[in-house]
Structure formats: C-alpha cells, structure tokens
Structure 1
Amino acid sequence: MNRARKVTGLAARGVVLAAAFAAAAAPPYAWAQAPAEQPAAVAAPAAPAAPQGLSESVAAVVNDQIISTYDLAQRMRLLIATSGIQPTQQNIAQFQREALISLVDERLQLQELRRQERDQKMSIVATDDELNEEIADMAKNNNMTADQFVASLQGQGIGVGTLKEQIRAQVSWQRWIRGRYGSRLRVGEDQVKAAQQRMEAAASKPQYQISEVFLDANRVGGMETAMTGAAQLINQMQQGAPFPAVARQFSASATAANGGDAGWISSGEMAPEVDAALEQMRPGQLSQPIQVRDGVYIIYLREKRSGATASVVNLKQAALALPQNATADQVAAATATLNTLRGQVTGCGDLEAKAAGVTGVVAGDLGEAEIKDLSPAFRQAAETLQPGQLSEPIRTAAGLHVLAVCSKRAAGAEQVTAEQIESRLFGQQLSMIARRYMRDLRNSATIETK
C-alpha cells in the first residue's frame, strides 16, 4: 500500500442531503462559450455483493479501520444519485475521489466521537432512531414516504445502510462541534458594528448574487486535476445537473452545505480572477473554470445590480413651533430648551419619551429618506451625523428642530439586522473551528490507500 497524501481544506458539510429524486427541472444555465460535446454516459459503478469475511478488498485504511471497495462503490452510487450528474468515463475518477475523501473524513469523525464518548462517559453518536427520523424528513422533502424513499435508493443499487452511515457522521459531528464550542463563542458588539461598516462601504460597489463551487487543488490532487474536474462539472450542469446538488457534493467552500449559495457579494470580496469574470457575466450565466491560487471556482451569477451612490437615513426629531418672525429672545429661549433636552437624550431610543416631559416640544419618527431628498436645513446634519448622534437645534420656517440619526445606509444595500450579522459571524467562527479540528485529526491520523 502507498501512504495517502493528507487531505486538507474540506468544507464542513451540512446535515441535509440534496434531494436524490426531485422532479423539478434544473435551471437553464447560459455559458460564455458553448460547452464541449457531452461525453458518453457509462453505467454507475457496479455494486458488488456485501463482502464476506477476508474476501473483502481494501480501498483504504484509516487508523487501522478498513474502508472496503464495497463501501467505496456504494458511496459512489449515492454521490451520483444525489449530485444529479450522469457518470461518464471522464468523470468517474472524480466521483471515486470525492467518495473516498468523504469516507475517510467520516471515519476520522466517528473515531474521534467514539473516543470522546469513552472519555466523557456520555452519548454523542446519533442513534438509529435519530437516523430514521432524518430519513423520514428527507423522504418528506421528496414527497415520498420513508419506505418509498428507501425503495428508490435500493432501486439504484444503494443500500440504506450507506445513507445511514453518512447521516450518522454528519449529524453527530455537527452536534458535537456546536455542543462543545458553541457556548464558548462570543460575537462582540464591535465585531457586529465593523461588519455593518464594511457592508455599508461595499454598497457603493457593483453587487452580485452568486452561487459557487470551489475545487481545492490540494484536495483533489493538483491544479490540472481541479481544472479538468471543473470543466466536467460545468458540462454536466449545462446538461441539467442541479447546481445546488453539485455544490453540496463537490465544493470545498463553506457554502457547500447551502448548495453553494453565497448570497450577495460586492466587488473586491473574492479573488481578483473571480471579480474579473463577474464583470463580464450576465445574470443566469454559468462561468467557465476560474483558476485562483488554491484551486478553481465555478460561479453561477443569479442577479447583478449597480453600486448604490445615494445614502438613506432614518431620522427622528424633537421640535418646538416657532413663527418665522419670532424675536431673538424667543429663539434663544427655544434653543436653550432643546439643548437641555439634548443633554438628557442618549439617542433614538429615548428621544420621544424624554421629549414628552418638556412643555411645547413635539417628537416623532420621520422615517427613511434619501439624504439628497431632504430639505437643505436637514441635509447637512444628516450627512455629517453618525447613527445615534443628535444635531444642534436647526432653525426652519416652522420652528426649531433637533434631529436624531437612527440609521444610515447606502440606497439599494441589503437591510441586515444586527442579529442577522451576529448569527452569520457565529456560524463562520464555528465553521472555522470545525475545519481546524478536522485538519488536526487528519494530520495525526494514519491514512493509507491501496
């Protein structure tokens, strides 16, 4: 046997598998150039009879635990069924490589979880009842009963045990990572504010709603292999393979668990090579393979919008009515009243409550408006103040006003709440911990392939 190259950079997989037998048609992808001629399809890998004792062939050994050729063939069949890709002579090696990488990782995960169960004397690995519940949910998502779903798998030569072992590793590992590290993670207010500022700054740049597949060159055996594999995947998606299913099974990006959905991004957030490709693409178009330093991207551009140049501000005000011909003493008295109020108010949250206790002062919510549409008297304050700040008293024909800036954003930018940003940052940190954990397991493991 030859010792295998350590496999690094695998994406953290989600619990939900792609619907293996969904009837919905794949989206119509356009491509900058006509795809290559579709390679001839081949039969899925043979499903040998269950191995008997020592007659079983060995595909790999992970810390003295065998992965058999039967295990490998079964996982390849499951991968083909869930990716929606037609196997060909050109891509069958890619299926085999992905299947083996997944099996190795799952063996490492379950070995670690069993060790933790022994050391901590607690149950971590998912039970058969939990696996049956997961399969029932998958069947429901495919408009089937659990029995019909299992029968469909078996009709394609896939044993239900193969699916159960994949789910067992995914569910158990995700639960362990969240249980062990989730309570320790803290996303600070400064992190949320910094993320909000980055989003506001990026809103002025062109924005793209994309889905992605990333093939890690180190993981798949080199850049040439990654480029070839990307071209094959593009060809299959042009023939109808669903992008989300392909991303779930082949992408090394953290977005794999979401079917490759990266949401809205701005120019400059990804590698320069990807930015250059996006500038030339139209919505509904699938990119050619995009080579970057560590691998190859496939991008599906779902939507595109120009960068926003206008700013939108959300305002509240406290005002004292004052005639246009008011005397200097009247203006001075009103100014003193509003300045006293300003000293008591901390921001938008308590402006109206504090103003209610001051005779003659009326407070209210002015809502959102583009700064350029505000009256000249209010525009300068809205441009210079930051969220949470209050203006000096502003004189208008109607009276004297104090403005409070509640929020400010670029027009057209996504309105993302602080809670949503916090949840996103939490997920990113947890995903990073999981990847590092897996990297350490691989580095300390003995992995051999035949």
Structure 2
Amino acid sequence: MMRYLMNSAARRVVFACALAAASAAPQARAQQPAAPVAPAGLSESVAAVVNDDIVSTYDLAQRMRLLIATSGVQPTEENLGQFQREALISLVDEQLQFQELRRVERDQKMEIVADNTEVDEEITSMAQGNNMSREQFQAFLGSRGIGVDTLRQQIRAQMSWQRWIRGRYGSRLRVGDDQIAATQARLEAEAAKPQYQIGEVLIDASRVGGMPQALAGAQQLVTQMQQGAPFAAVARQFSALPTAANGGDAGWVGAGDMPPEVVAALEQMRPGQLSQPVQTRDGVYILYLRDKRAGGGATLVNLKQAAVGLPAGALPEAEAAARAKLAALKPQIRDCATLEATAARVEGVVAGDLGEAEAADLAPQFREAAEGLQVGQVSDPIRTQAGLHLIAVCGRRAAGGGAVDKEQIEQRLFSQQLSMIARRYMRDLRNSATIETK
C-alpha cells in the first residue's frame, strides 16, 4: 500500500506550485502562456517510483494545479493535502495503466494508446464545452501555470484505458434475460417507493488510504461546494464512480440501486439540498438531490385556486362578504383552463396555478377538498389563515416514473459490470506493483 508522504523539500516544491496556481491573475486567461517551469530556487525531485517509472514533484505539482483549475475547489492549507493525495493517486494509476497497455501492445502486436490526433480532438471538445476555442482553453490553463502536456497525459490515459477495458471485456460480457427480468421485477416492486434524481460523488476508501482519509476528504469537498464549487466539476475530478464522466449525474434511482446508508440520507433531504458525507462499506458518498418523486402508491393532484385575501382576525362581516363573493363565482367557473380569466372579472379575487403536489403533502383543508372532488370540480370556499379559497382539481394521477424498458436495463447492468471489472483490474495492478513514495 502506498503512503502519501513526502520529504520536506519535495513538499515545499509541490505546495509552492499549487499556491502559485491559486493566486494566478484572472486577466492572464487571455494571454498566451510561456512553457511552465519549476519555481526558481526549488529543485525538482522524485515524488514516487512506480515499478521502474518515476513520478516527479513537477508532475505532481502540475497535476495539483490541473485539479484546482478544473474542480472549482479553492485551495487552502487544510485541503492542499487532499489535492496532493488525489493528484499522486491519479499519477500512480496512470503509470500503472500505461505500463499495462505497453505490455499488451508488445505481447499482442496491437495499438491501444490514443494518438495525438485523438487527444487533440478531445481537448477541442472540452474547450467548446467551456465556450472557448482550443487556443483560449490552452491559454486559460497556461494562466494558471498548467502545461498543456499535463492535460494531454490525463486525457490520453483515460481514453486508452477505457478503450482497452471495453475492448477486452465488453464483447465477453453478457447480460442474461434472467438478469433483466429480475431487475424489472425489482423495479416494479419498488414502484410504490420514492425515487430520487441525484448527483453522486464516491470517495473510494481503499483508493485514498482508508476510511478516515475518505471522510476527511469528503468533508472538505462538501465545505467547498457549500461555498460555490460546482458539484459536476468536483464529481469529475474526485468521484470513483462511473457517473464521474457525467459530472456525477446518476439520473433517477430507487432504493434498490443504492447502499442503505445512502437511501436513509436521501429520505431526509429536500430537492436542491447537498448532503453531508455518508459513510458506506466502500467509501464515503456526497449526494446532491435534484428532485424527488413519490412512489406509485401515492396520488398526485394538480390544483388551481381563486382566492380573496383575508387576515385571520377579520370581522365576521368582511368574511361573510368574501364568502358570498366566492360562492357567486363558483358556478361561473366551467373548467380549469378558463378559471383565471373568469376570476379576473371579479374585483378582489386573485387566481393562480398551484401546480402538482402529492395529496398527502397538502394543507389539511386543501387535502380534504382535493380528495372529495373529481377532476374539473371546484370546492366550496375554504378558510385558511391567509383568506378564503376556491380549489379546482385540474388533474389526478398515480405517482411514480414510467417503466424502464429492457434496453435501458440491459445497458445499465452492462455498465455496472464493466465498471466493477475495471476497478478490480486496477486493484490487482496496484497490489502486484512495487510503488514507493518519497
């Protein structure tokens, strides 16, 4: 197992480089940078040896700069250690991947490693995704002291390794009809349970040196995201899950798709909320709940209202007048489509769309009215603390998402299996390698 420790001279090189990247002037983005060099007065040294290949402190500082620039996380004295650890792990893994790919190319007389044209096309695509030309994107990296070769190395490793894993195992993987049927049965059984649209980050405890390190790193990332770091950028750089490539977007998931600790956390969250670190068997999750929908056993109603504002302590005469006004309006409302226009003709009445909500979540007075009305019907005046209301039921449906078809299930299972194989492959390479950190 690697220990992510460095001697004091090497640490000074790395931290000085990273802090220099953090303090780069924003206006430097538009300038064409010179080739980056190690800070004056600080000598480059060895950060790690992976079998016979060296990772230098310059390589490490460059990768830290790249992580800082692309994750949106602001470096501090507290989280620089996390950047260093993540950068070193990534560089060590890439060395192991390239060593394995070179061995395969030599033994099997085949080409796997992505060439310069493929890497350049990916950089151009990344630049376009950030509304920049390729030249502007490279200038942006240069303004933060990042050599384009650092990004090229990372992209080349990712593209080549994914190509090799899919090429070697993709054609061998078979998702059987029994697996698909079992998944469909589970999804149908869970249809009555809540579903969650989430973003996810997993800090793999085995990859970062243990659960305490994973928890500490996750807490630092949560703090940074609460201060404005983009969730998607953090997920791309730090998450160990396949969804990292999509900025952590896992789409709609049910309880059976996630560890029980994650489900318990989501049950307590509201849409738009970021979780605290959630410890599981494999590591620590950070969750962003984008949306939540009730299970199939719940009823969703779409409501509109016409209301007269009236304070709770209004005189009986005022309340009686408002009630009479709404009672006279009720028979004029022929359907939901014309409710607002009809109510607008009556002075003092305000109408609006209340949207769709789960019936059980409505205020008691509204819930009772909604449950007793058919679609298209309008209630009698209802008294609340805010005033008097006519409620119209404009729609009613069972909650829950649409059925997932066979092809979607097959693709999901295939991706899960391929991801598991890739993680095991890397674990075996690490275990069999000689890795020394200085």
TM range (shorter): 0.5 to 0.7
Within a 5 Å distance, the mapping from 1:48-197 to structure 2 comes to: 49=37, 56-197=44-185
From 256, 259, 273, the counterpart of 2:244 = 256
Within a 5 Å distance, the mapping from 1:181-220 to structure 2 comes to: 181-220=169-208
Is 2:205–2:213's contact at 8 Å kept on the other side of the alignment? yes
Secondary structure of the structure 2 residue equivalent to 1:413: coil
Q: Which amino acid aligns with 2:122?
A: E
1:224 aligns with 2:212: yes
Is 2:21–2:145's contact at 8 Å kept on the other side of the alignment? no
1:4 aligns with 2:12: no
Is 2:205–2:214's contact at 8 Å kept on the other side of the alignment? yes
Is 1:200–1:413's contact at 8 Å kept on the other side of the alignment? no
Structure with higher helix content: 2
- How far 1:253 moved relative to its partner? 2.4
C-alpha separation between the residues in 1 aligned to 2:257 and 2:407? 22
Is 2:192–2:400's contact at 8 Å kept on the other side of the alignment? no
Is 1:216–1:294's contact at 8 Å kept on the other side of the alignment? yes
Give the direction of change, closer, same or farther, for the CA distance of 1:130–1:241 in structure 2 (3 Å limit): same
Is 2:72–2:233's contact at 8 Å kept on the other side of the alignment? yes
Q: Which amino acid aligns with 1:65?
A: D
Q: Deviations over 1:178-234 (max 9, x none)?
A: 112211122222221211111111111121111111222332233332222222111
- How far 1:267 moved relative to its partner? 3.0
Which structure 2 residue ranges, 5 or more long, are not aligned?
A: 5-17, 24-34, 300-397
* Off by >3 Å, runs of 4+ in structure 1: 41-48
C-alpha separation between the residues in 1 aligned to 2:125 and 2:241? 25
- How far 1:50 moved relative to its partner? 5.2
2:271 — aligned with what?
283
Secondary structure of the structure 1 residue equivalent to 2:171: helix
Is 2:196–2:254's contact at 8 Å kept on the other side of the alignment? yes
Give percent identity, aligned residues only.
Answer: 74
Secondary structure of the structure 2 residue equivalent to 1:184: coil
Is 2:271–2:289's contact at 8 Å kept on the other side of the alignment? yes
Is 1:51–1:70's contact at 8 Å kept on the other side of the alignment? no
Is 2:49–2:435's contact at 8 Å kept on the other side of the alignment? yes
Q: Normalising by structure 2, report the TM-score.
A: 0.67
Within a 5 Å distance, the mapping from 1:293-308 to structure 2 comes to: 293-308=281-296
C-alpha separation between the residues in 1 aligned to 2:106 and 2:19? 45
Q: Which amino acid aligns with 2:101?
A: L
Within a 5 Å distance, the mapping from 1:402-417 to structure 2 comes to: 412-417=400-405
- How far 1:69 moved relative to its partner? 0.2
Within a 5 Å distance, the mapping from 1:248-397 to structure 2 comes to: 248-309=236-297
Is 1:287–1:300's contact at 8 Å kept on the other side of the alignment? yes
C-alpha separation between the residues in 2 aligned to 1:50 and 1:227? 32
- How far 1:158 moved relative to its partner? 0.3
Q: How many residues are matched?
A: 314
C-alpha separation between the residues in 1 aligned to 2:421 and 2:256? 25
Q: Which moved more, 1:280-289 or 1:221-230?
A: 221-230
1:442 — aligned with what?
430
Q: Which amino acid aligns with 1:93?
A: G
- How far 1:412 moved relative to its partner? 2.1
C-alpha separation between the residues in 1 aligned to 2:117 and 2:36? 28
Q: Normalising by structure 1, report the TM-score.
A: 0.66
Q: Which amino acid aligns with 2:55?
A: I
Is 2:36–2:142's contact at 8 Å kept on the other side of the alignment? no
C-alpha separation between the residues in 1 aligned to 2:68 and 2:294? 39
Q: Deviations over 1:274-311 (max 9, x none)?
A: 22222211110111122233432211111111111289
C-alpha separation between the residues in 2 aligned to 1:178 and 1:268? 26
- How far 1:43 moved relative to its partner? 4.7
C-alpha separation between the residues in 2 aligned to 1:51 and 1:436? 38
Q: Which amino acid aligns with 1:140?
A: Q
Q: Deviations over 1:225-258 (max 9, x none)?
A: 2222222111111111110111111122232222
- How far 1:415 moved relative to its partner? 2.8
Q: Which amino acid aligns with 2:291?
A: E
- How far 1:103 moved relative to its partner? 0.4
Q: Which amino acid aligns with 2:2?
A: A
Which structure's relative contact order is higher, taking Cα pairs within 8 Å and 6+ residues apart?
1
Is 1:63–1:446's contact at 8 Å kept on the other side of the alignment? yes
Q: Which amino acid aligns with 1:4?
A: M
Aligned-residue RMSD, C-alpha: 2.5
1:379 — aligned with what?
none
C-alpha separation between the residues in 1 aligned to 2:241 and 2:196? 18
